[in-house]
Structure formats: structure tokens, C-alpha cells
Chain A
């Protein structure tokens, strides 16, 4: 018999009835995260409201060897919150209170289910905000951000989640509380705050976050430059950096993206351009004037075919609107799209993009490229139709090849979306056995029974052996024309 009835009874002993879901239709909304190609119905969903309830759930899971998967807002793009078929899915959505904003110390103490943008909204009356701004910020939770080490368009200058948090309350699988980090800028012992950030719910459940707040810049202005080939746009990025400028944001879009967003939004993007580069400056008014002038000069000398500088806040936002609408625009031009997330040293941009183009022709699938150009984080969006038999499989293979190219270019298979379930095979290519063993060791130091989000983020050595055999078989001869770095 399934262990569910017994577990449900024990959960109901300390959770209200509506916080323990087990009917098929109630479970349905939890069967996937933002990567909807992967689905799994959990055995039970729990929605605790307090840290004490989480402790009780974890103790029960530990005692009964039941896997437990944390879920924030479910916007993750790598299947990190994909449920376990024989496990409990724990939604943190009800822990959604902002506990304290300390304007003088510039910190926010919040529960994990608080939405990213809600923190900035609460801080803004004090002239402060929380810097990391993933495009999903109206929906995603800060707990999920910590678990993925999420970034945003401003992270070259302001950092990722790991740079913007001070302290975590974390519960181990035994239900033991760890206070990691502190209210100071550093803490005694190992940097467990860094280790926890980006650990994809594998090491503990985050129940409270103390985040840093920074002053809202006095002014922000945006330069939009069009280029007639993508390599010149890439060079322009390098030239900006070489001039000693760290822009607040630097985003690049390729032609197919420009066309998709222009059709969707009419933002006034140049449809003849092969690439559009958005480069933002923020800071004090004087700083921005100085920097914008220099950026303009650099764009010109880098061969931009058209340059526009925002003259008002409304115009700045309208220039950004196209970039921010890249995902929905992809949804308009194609029934489905698949978002990849590799990072490469920027100098290889041209080669990687032409490699993607070759793959795109080979698979007969279109691909839009949006690029956090400042920090080399590439988001190819593969356009496909899940209703066409075999197309999802083709898409996944295409995506896998892109990630391999990123590794060969000296980059990584994931810049900010995490490994989750999605990139577990490519982990075998990026890391050697010894390194994977260290990862398993870290996991074991926190969760020796492997109950927290099992099967994600780090592949078993067995899985890698199988993938390796398959990979050698189908991989290398098929694309002799792809760039090898």
C-alpha cells in the first residue's frame, strides 16, 4: 500500500486541512515549474505557514525517509522544483511576510515566499531597493532566488543574489536550525552563505532571508545602438569595458529577436539591424551625463549604424520594454519556446552565435538570442511546437548541443537558471568524476540520506557513465563543422 494515507494523517496532526493536498486535481498545479516540458505529480503537497510547521514536516520526512522538494513561486526554468513521485512537495508560498525593513542599516528581513519585487516596493519609500532583478521579479520568490543564485539585467554592476544577501535561516533535513551569515558583512568560519546560495534546495530549506538594500540611483539613462553585424555589437561591448565603464545594464538582441519583439510591441526598434545593444548608465546625475557621453562616442567608433539616447524616463522604459518582452514575444511567434542559459567569455560570442545558427539549420528549428552581454550570459530561445511529434526531443538535443558549445568556449552550462533536472546530463561534461564526488560529499555533509530534492543538480556517477557512452556514440561525428574552441 502507498505510504500516503499514513503520512497524510501525521501531517494533518500539525497542519490545517487546507495545507495538506493529495487529491489529483489539487496536485495538478504543482506538477511542473517554469520548465513545463518536465512534469511529475507529487504524492502530497504541503503548504506550511510557519517555521515550526516546516520543522515538523522535515522531521517527519527524515523519520520516514520521504523525499521533500521545496517550491517557491515555481518560475524556475530548469525543473528544480519538479516534484518527486514518492515525495512531499513543500510550497513556501504562504510564508510571504516582510518581517522588517531597517532603513538605516539598509536591510530587509523577509520570509522565503516574498516576491522579489515586493522587497523593492517595500524599500522604495526609504529611497532604497533590492538590486537583483530577474525578469521574473513580479512573480519569483526570494527563497527561489537564493536557491538559484538568480541574477538580472543589472548584475554586472550590482551583483547576483550571493552578493546581495547577508543572512539566512536554514532548516536541515533533521529540522535543525542553522543561522548562516549574519548582520555583519562577514561571519566566522566557512562561507556557508556562498555555499547555500545556488544550492537548488539540495542542502536545506531557507526560512528567512536578510537581504541588503542599496540606494535608488539618482538617475538612469539608456543608449540604444543598432549594428549591421553581431560581431561589431560584441566588440562595442568590449570597448565599453575597456574604457573603464561598468554599465548598469548591457543587453544584446539578435535580428530574429528584434523582429519578434517589434511585431509584438512596436517599441521602435530598427528592423534593418542585425543586432541591437542596450547600454544603461545609472548613478548621480553628473556621473550619468559623463558616462552617457562616453558610451555614445564608443558606440560610434565601434560602427553603430544608429544610436538613440533616452531623453526621458518614459523613453528609457520604452527602450527596455522590447528586451523585457523577449519571452512573451517568443510565445507569440511560436507555440512553444525553450529558454537556454549558458555563459561564455564574451570574446567568443561571434563563434558561438554562428554555431547556434548552424545547429538551427540542422534541426530546422528557429532560435532567438538574447544576451546579458556585459557578463556573457546567453539566453537562446529555441522555438518549437510541442504538438509536433518528436519536436520537443529535437529541441532538447539542440539545447544540449548549445550547452556543450558553451563548455568548449570555456564557459558554463548555466549562468543563472540552475541545473535542476534539465541540465543534469551536461554536468557530466562540465565536471570530472572527482569534482562530482566533492559535490556529493557536500550534499552528504548536509543531507546524508539524500532526501532534499533528490536526483537534481548533481548527477550520479552511474548516470554520467551511461550518458558518456551514449554521448560519444551520437555526438562527435555529427557536427564536425561546429566550432571547437
Chain B
């Protein structure tokens, strides 16, 4: 394995010297996400650096190499009754741990359990000059030095090549049950937020097609009592439903001209925007899609309207699928934050070779 690191390090050093952009290549599962790779970028394949380094169920920590497939990690955890509680989407069987952390995406359990960044305990990485760096560690609590490991989550490979990541893991719930209730969007927003403020074992919520889906997790007895309290119909397709949401295989997500992801304050009122909508995370995540371009979501002005709506609700909007050359994928940053991003990028990757433009065109 050291030979692989040596090779990646050498590639980085040469690229840094020549100013040759690199595209960090995970499983390719999220290739649609973010700005496309720079045309001049050469691939840096991280997938050979794979395998679980250390897993101790009673310490609640797993450490694995970045090229390890997410599916492998999750199946090992399942054998020991544990899970990645942020339920990362895979989007393909090839999805890797490095890509999961770099993309920073979390699934249905996020509002209840936390996001990828909440579970990152430590990383080993190579910066843009090939320096081998360790931050954080394998323990739950660690405040020595700045929290560079969490900073890596969602940085889309622009700050470093992840080599190893340590994640906190959690026990699988003893039982889970999904219930469905019929209601409109406005009612659902209110209901999800009200229930989130009550001591109920709710671990996922979704509103789509006039149905509110609620997942309850924990002891059988606790689920039964909660269900009496919430009402609604038991659903037998619960697991399949949440899986289809997590992997975006639910019919709502069928290939469309564009898919917008609005991450907003959970109580933000219903959006009256063209296209179909789906809500998750107690209302804090709103998906907006249109099947064809008649809704015109691809125009710059439509993008502007969507982004304004997200900003007004204390959040941001991402053009998740359906890249379009004039519309930035990620929500534009304020000038002060953009210049801070560039200064940080400069520190980690002075030659600007790591996934340039993948997150923002400016770096």
C-alpha cells in the first residue's frame, strides 16, 4: 500500500511543479455532481488505495482507505450491528469512501443523526504539494489543532487527496417502521417541525405526492407508542422507500432537465416554483425537478429566482443534476467568503492542481 502512496505523492509533486491540474478519481459515482472536471485535468486514480485499516465495534470507530467501496464498509458494519448513521447515497456500486467524504452528501437520517462531517473523526491526506498529513484521530473527542478533518467533508477534493478516513459509527436501531399520512405541503411543513420538537423516535421524514412518510426507529415498544400518537397508516414498503430516496431511484428523481437541491430553514414556507417538489429532513431539504425544459428552470433568470428563494430562507441552492454552462452548480459565495476560500485553497494547494473548478470556477 505504501507503494501506492509513494506513486500518488510523486504524481502530485510533478503536477505541482508543472502546474498540471489533476482530477481525483474515486468510483465515478458522483461524476454528475459539481462542475465538470477541467479539460486539461489528468486523472489521479485513488481506487487502488483501498481496504479497511481498523474497525473496532466497541470503540464505535472505523478507519478505511479512501478507495474502499462504501458498500464494503457498510456490509462489514452491518455484520456487527452497526451503520454509517448519515446514510450516504452511493449512486452507484462503485462509490468510494473518499468520494463520499469529499462530496459531503448525507441521506434520509441526516436531520436526526447528523451529516458526514458530524461523523468524521480524522483523516490522513496528501495536500497539493504531496505532503502526508494526519488530522484528528480515532477518538470521539479531539480539539488539538484546527478541525481540518471536518473541513475536508464536502470540499470536493479541492484541498487534498484523502488517503484514510476515520468515522464514528452507530448501532443499527433495534427496529424500524414507516408510516404514511396524507397531507398537503404546507401542512406537512408544519407537522414535521412540530413533531421534531417532541421527544419522538423519528429518524426520517419525506413529503412527496401528497403523502408524508415518517420513519420511526428504536425499541419495538417505543415505536408502537409513537405510532399511536402520530396516527397514519403502516407501510410495508418502508425500507425500499427510504432506499429509493437515498439513492434517488424514486420515480420523483427520474432523469429530468434539471434537479435543484434547496437546503433551507426547515420552517421555510412552501415554494411556489415551477416543477415538482419533494421535501426531506423535516422540511430543511427541498428537491425541485422538472421533466423537460418547459418549466424553464435552466434559464439564468429561473436559477436566480430559485437561489433568491433559498437565500431568503437562510439557505442555499445547488443545481444537483443537469449542469448548464452559464449556471454555477453551487450557490455563489459572498465576496468575503470567496476570498477566504481562495486563501485557504492557496494554503493546501498552492499550485492549484487539485480538482480545479470542481467546486467553484474561481479556484
Contacts and interface: CB of A to CB of B under 8 A. Distances in A.
Contacts of A347: 56, 58-59
A316 B161 CA distance: 48
A202 to B, nearest CB: 8
A104 B114 CA distance: 19
Interface residues of A, number: 98
A179 B311 CA distance: 12
Interface in B30-79: 56-61
* Most chain A CB inside 10 Å of its own CB: which residue of B199, B218, B337, B347: B199
Contacts of B61: 345
Nearest to A102: B267
B294 interface: no
Interface string A216-249: 1110000000000000000000110110111000
Interface stretch (B3-11, B145-153, B243-251): B145-153
Contacts of B331: 188
A66 to B, nearest CB: 22
A254 interface: no
Interface stretch (A82-90, A302-310, A387-395, A434-442): A434-442
A184 B198 contact: no
Sorting the interface of chain B by its residue count into under 10, 10 to 19, 20 to 34 or 35 or more gives: 35 or more
Given A105-B265, A284-B222, A434-B131, A151 B141 contact: yes
Contacts of B110: 185
A427 B146 CA distance: 12
Contacts of A216: 199
Nearest to B119: A163
A287 interface: yes
A224 B286 CA distance: 45
A289 interface: yes
Interface in B100-120: 104, 110-111, 114-115, 117-118
A288 B118 CA distance: 25
Nearest to B225: A286
Contacts of B59: 241, 345-347, 376
Contact of A242 (B58, B142, B144): B58
B240 interface: no
Contacts of B98: none
Nearest to A413: B144
Nearest 5 pairs of A and B residues by beta carbon: A183-B314, A441-B347, A184-B315, A194-B150, A244-B171
Interface of A: 102-106, 126-128, 148-149, 151, 155-156, 159-160, 162-163, 167, 172, 176-180, 182-192, 194-195, 197-199, 203, 213, 215-218, 238-239, 241-242, 244-246, 283-287, 289-291, 343-347, 372, 374-377, 410-419, 423, 427, 430-432, 434-435, 438-439, 441-446, 457-458
Given A105-B266, A190-B159, 13 more contacts: A127-B198, A179-B334, A183-B313, A184-B313, A185-B285, A186-B154, A190-B154, A215-B197, A285-B225, A286-B222, A432-B134, A438-B133, A442-B148
